[in-house]
Amino acid sequence: MTRLVIVSNRVSKPRETRAGGLASALNSALNEHGGLWFGWSGNVVSDVPAGVSRERIGEIDYALTDLSESEYSTYYQGFSNRTLWPLLHYRPDLLDFRRENLSGYRAVNRRFAELLAPQLRSDDTIWVHDYHLIPLGQELRALGIKARIGFFLHVPFPSPEVLMMLPGHRPLLKTLCAYDLVGTQTDSDQRALCEYSGREWGATCDDSGMVSLSDGHRFRCMAFPISIDPGLISRNADLARTSKAHRSLVDSLSGRELAISVDRLDYSKGLPERFEAFAHFLDSYPQHRGQLSMMQIAPVTRGDVPEYQELRARLEQLAGAINGRYAEPDWMPIRYINRSFHQANLAGFYRSARVGLVTPLRDGMNLVAKEYVAAQSAEDPGVLVLSRFAGAARELTDALLVNPYDADDTSNAIHAALEMPIEERRRRWQAMSAHLRQHTIVDWRESFLDVLLDS
C-alpha cells in the first residue's frame, strides 16, 4: 500500500481547537488512514527558519516548518490572503496585488518542495491542498519527483472573467498542469476550471474532466465535495447534553429559541449582512422579539490583515447598535462571541438551536452547514437556513436556501424555520442526513485517492 503524504499550509494536531474546515477535515481524513502531514508549524520566527521538525501522533507523522517574518508577510498574509483569497471569493474590490508578495509566495512554495522532497519515498502518493500551494506540484516535479501528485482546491474556482483580473494569472495557474488530478468542491468550480483551461491554455476538457493541452500533456479535473464524519458529530451532540457548557447555554435561554451561526471572522462569511437581516427579521416579525436569540460564534482569523480588522470593528459596531435598539432587560437579540470552541461543544450548541443560520456571501463548501444537520436529533430537528453561494447548497437542497444579499429573503426564511411544522422539519432533515451518511469525509478521501491512483 502506498503511503499518503498530505501537504497543506494549515496543519492541526488532534485535540487542537482550530477554527477552519481544512484542518478539521484533513484531521478526520488522516486519522485512521495514517500517513505524513507536511506543512506550516503555525510559528513565525525572526531568523531564517530551521528545517523540518518531526513528530508522530497516533498514525500521523507530522513534518512541520516555521515561516520567517518576511515569508509570513508576503506568502501568507500578502499573496495568499490579500490577493488570492479575495479574488477566489469574487471580491476583486479587495484585491491587493504586490509583486514582492508574489515572489515571496513562489519562494515559500519552492522551499516547501525542497524540504519535502528528501522525506519522500518512491511509492508515496502526494496530495497538496489549497490556494497557498498552487505551484508546489511543479516545484516537486522540478526536483525530479515522479510520484502521483493530486491537488484539492478548498475555495471556489471563480469564473475566468474574475480570475483574469489577477496580474500574472496565466503562469501561476499553468502550474496546475503539473498535477495528475485537480479536485474542486463543486461541479460549477470544475466547469470554471475547464473553461479557463480552454480560454487561457487552448486546452480541451472532455466529459470525464480530462484536460488535454496542445503539446499532448493531460491531467484530470473533477469535483469532490468535502464532508464530515456525521456519526461522530451526532454522538458528540448526544454526549454534550450532559456537559456543563451545553446545560448553561440551555439554561440561559429560559425556554426561548436559538439561532446559531459559527464562522471564522471573515468577510466571505457575510456576517454584517446576516446581522442586518436579523434586525430586519425583528422589524418584520415583531412577534418573535424576546422569543429568539441569535448566537454568532466568530473566532478571529487572519487578525493582522487590515480588511479583517475593519470587518471586526464594523461587526462590533453593528452588534452593539442592534442590541442597543432591540434588547429588553431579560433578552439580548445577538450573542456575539469572538472565541473558538472545541468541536464536541459546538455539536451540543448546534443540537440546542432551532435554526442554523449559515449565510456566507461565497464559500468553497462550508462544513458548519453539514455539522449543524449532523448534530440534530431525528425526533425534533432544527432547520438549516443556507446561502445559495456556499458549496454545501449544491448538496443540502432541503435546507431553506437564501440569497444572503437579500435581507427580506433571509428574514422570511428565519420566520419560516420557526413556524415550520414538525413533519416538514423531519422530512427535510431526513433527506439531508441520509445524504451526509452516504457522503462522509472518508468517502471524500477514498474517492479522490481512487481517481488519483487511476490517473
Ligand X SMILES: O=P(O)(O)OC[C@H]1O[C@H](O[C@H]2O[C@H](CO)[C@@H](O)[C@H](O)[C@H]2O)[C@H](O)[C@@H](O)[C@@H]1O
Ligand Y SMILES: O=c1ccn([C@@H]2O[C@H](COP(=O)(O)OP(=O)(O)O)[C@@H](O)[C@H]2O)c(=O)[nH]1
Q: Position 53: which residue type?
A: S
Tell me the per-residue interface mask from 313 to 352 with ligand Y, x by CB under 6 A, - otherwise: ---------------------------xx-x--x------
Catalytic residue (choose from 61, 130, 263, 363): 363
Which amino acid type is present at position 193? L
Q: Alpha carbon of 236 to those of 252, 420, 439: distances in Å?
A: 21, 26, 19
Please report whether residue 92 would count as binding ligand Y according to CB under 6 A: no
370 contributes a contact to ligand X by CB under 6 A: no
Question: Which one of the listed residues 154, 189, 229, 246 is annotated catalytic?
Answer: 154
Q: Is 149 in the site for ligand Y (CB under 6 A)?
A: no
Q: Minimum distance between the CB of residue 156 and ligand X, rounded to whole angstroms? A: 8
Q: Which is nearer to ligand X, 2 or 188 (CB)?
A: 188
Return the closest-CA partner of residue 138 out of 175, 182, 181, 183. Answer: 175
Shortest distance (Å) from residue 26 CB to ligand Y: 11
Hey, which residues between 428 and 447 contact ligand X (CB under 6 A)? none
Min CB(262)–ligand Y separation in Å: 5
Which distant-in-sequence residues (6+ apart) come within 8 Å of 323 by Cβ?
332, 333, 334
Cβ proximity to ligand X: between 24 and 433 the closer is 24
Starting at the edge strand found earlier in the chain, the sheet holding 218-223 runs 53-57, 60-68, 35-45, 4-8, 125-129, 148-152, 181-184, 218-223, 210-212, 204-205
Instruction: Please choose, from the candidates 37, 63, 36, 35, the residue with its C-alpha nearest in 3D space to the C-alpha of residue 50.
Output: 63
Q: Are the C-beta atoms of 340 and 17 separated by less than 8 Å?
A: yes
299 belongs to the binding site for ligand X (CB under 6 A): no
Give the integer Cα–Cα distance in Å for 242 and 352. Answer: 12
Q: Is residue 299 involved in binding ligand Y (CB under 6 A)?
A: yes
Three-point CA angle 339, 403, 355, nearest 5°: 50
* Binding positions for ligand X, 143-182, rule CB under 6 A: 154-155
CB of 166 to ligand X, least distance (A): 17
Q: Which of 365, 383, 432, 449 binds ligand X (CB under 6 A)?
A: 365
Q: Name the segment binding ligand X (CB under 6 A); options: 120-128, 207-215, 227-235, 358-366.
A: 358-366
Q: What is the dihedral of CA 254, 260, 266, 270, to 10 degrees?
A: -110
Could you tell me how many residues of this chain bind ligand Y (CB under 6 A)?
A: 19
Work out which of 4, 7, 9, 21 binds ligand Y, going by CB under 6 A.
21
Taking the complex as a whole, the smallest distance from the CB of residue 346 to ligand Y amounts, in Å, to: 5
435 is catalytic: no
User: Residue 302: which of ligand Y, ligand X, none does it interact with, CB under 5 to 8 A by kind?
Assistant: ligand X
Question: Is residue 229 a contact residue for ligand Y (CB under 6 A)?
Answer: no
264 is an interface residue for ligand Y by CB under 6 A: yes
Among residues 102 and 367, whose Cβ is nearest to ligand Y? 367
Q: Which three cell numbers stand for residue 211?
A: 484536460
Name, in order, each residue with C-beta under 8 angstroms of 286's C-beta and a sequence gap of 6 or more. none
**371 sits near ligand Y (criterion: CB under 6 A):** yes
How many alpha carbons lie under 13 Å from residue 8 in its C-beta half-sphere? 23
| Residue 29 lies near ligand X (rule: CB under 6 A) | no
Using the rule CB under 6 A, is 367 a contact of ligand Y? yes
Query: Residue 218: what residue type?
Result: R
Residue in 6, 29, 297, 432 binding ligand Y, rule: CB under 6 A: 297
Altogether, the residues listed in the chain come to a count of: 455
For ligand X (CB under 6 A), the number of binding residues is: 17
Residue 20 within binding range of ligand Y, rule CB under 6 A: yes
Phi and psi, residue 210, nearest 5°: -80, 120
CB 30 within 8 Å of CB 60: yes
Residue 440 sits in the site that holds ligand Y (CB under 6 A): no
Tell me how crowded residue 70 is: count the other CB atoms within 10 A of its CB: 16
Determine whether 406 is an active site residue: no
- Pattern of binders to ligand X over 6-25, x per CB under 6 A? ----x---------xxxx-x
Does the protein bind ligand X through residue 228 (CB under 6 A)?
A: no
Cell of 106: 513562489
**Choosing among ligand Y, ligand X, none, which partner's interface includes residue 78 (Cβ < 5 to 8 Å by kind)?**
none
Q: Is 226 in the site for ligand X (CB under 6 A)?
A: yes
Residue closer to ligand Y by CB (options 148, 154) is 154
The residues that are catalytic are: 154, 363
Binding site for ligand Y (CB under 6 A): 17, 19-22, 24, 262, 264, 297, 299, 340-341, 343, 346, 365-368, 371
Binding site for ligand X (CB under 6 A): 10, 20-23, 25, 130, 154-155, 226, 301-302, 363-367
